[in-house]
């Protein structure tokens, strides 16, 4: 019961509502166009809606959250050469062809390069 209450308080949070809007717009847009374009349509659309009819400060706060996440991901990528997106997918890039392969793969599915270890990957 407490978990449900926590979820309800979270949904009442305007920033969360903003992200729910983005998610709904994204799902609708992705029926018609590809994911990259849907991302832009949903984020710009939600921002426009919130600035026009809700609280513009909420849109600003939500964008700060998004930019912070982007900054952290880029920071990890360029400072520690750690690709968070690939890590979450359980993948790495082959050092020979730089295509994606599963972290535990022994041989690259694209060029048949033999990995020497799990951390043997494309550095670029
Ligand atoms: Zn390869």
pLDDT, tens digit, for every residue of 71-83?
Answer: 888 888 777 777 8
Looking at the fold, whether 91 and 39 belong to one and the same domain comes out as no
Whether residues 88 and 68 share a domain: the answer is: no
Regarding whether 46 and 90 lie in a shared domain, the answer is no
| Spacing, Cα 62 to ligand 1 middle (Å) | 39
Q: Is the dihedral of CA 117, 74, 21, 11 positive or negative?
A: positive
Q: 24, 18 in Cβ contact below 8 A? A: no
Same domain, 12 and 72: yes
68 and 39 in one domain? yes
Total domain count, the chain: 2
By residue range, what is the domain housing residue 18?
A: 2-80
Give the C-alpha separation, 27 to 21, whole Å. 10
What spacing in Å lies between the alpha carbon of 95 and ligand 1's midpoint? Answer: 7
How far does the centroid of ligand 1 lie from the alpha carbon of residue 124, in Å? 14
The last residue of one of the domains, among 60, 80, 100, is 80
Which tokens is 61 given? 């706060």
124 — pLDDT class (breaks 50, 70, 90): low
Which residues are paired to 107 by β-bridges? 114
Write down the pTM of the prediction.
Answer: 0.61
Q: How far is the CA of 108 from the centre of ligand 1 (A)?
A: 5
86 Cα–ligand 1 center, Å: 15
Q: Which of 7-11, 48-52, 63-67, 84-88 has the lowest mean pLDDT?
A: 7-11
- The reply to whether 103 and 76 lie within a common domain is no
């Amino acid at each position: 019961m407490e978990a449900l209450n926590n979820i309800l308080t979270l949904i009442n949070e305007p920033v969360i509502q903003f992200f729910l809007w983005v998610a709904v717009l994204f799902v609708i847009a992705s029926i018609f166009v590809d994911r990259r374009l849907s991302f832009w349509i949903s984020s710009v659309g939600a921002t426009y809606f919130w600035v026009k009819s809700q609280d513009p400060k909420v849109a600003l706060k939500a964008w700060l959250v998004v930019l912070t996440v982007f900054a952290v991901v880029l920071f990890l990528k360029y400072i520690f050469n750690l690709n968070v997106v690939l890590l979450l997918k359980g993948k790495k890039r082959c050092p020979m062809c730089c295509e994606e392969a599963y972290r535990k793969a022994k041989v690259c599915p694209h060029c048949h390069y033999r990995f020497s270890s799990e951390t043997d990957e494309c550095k670029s």
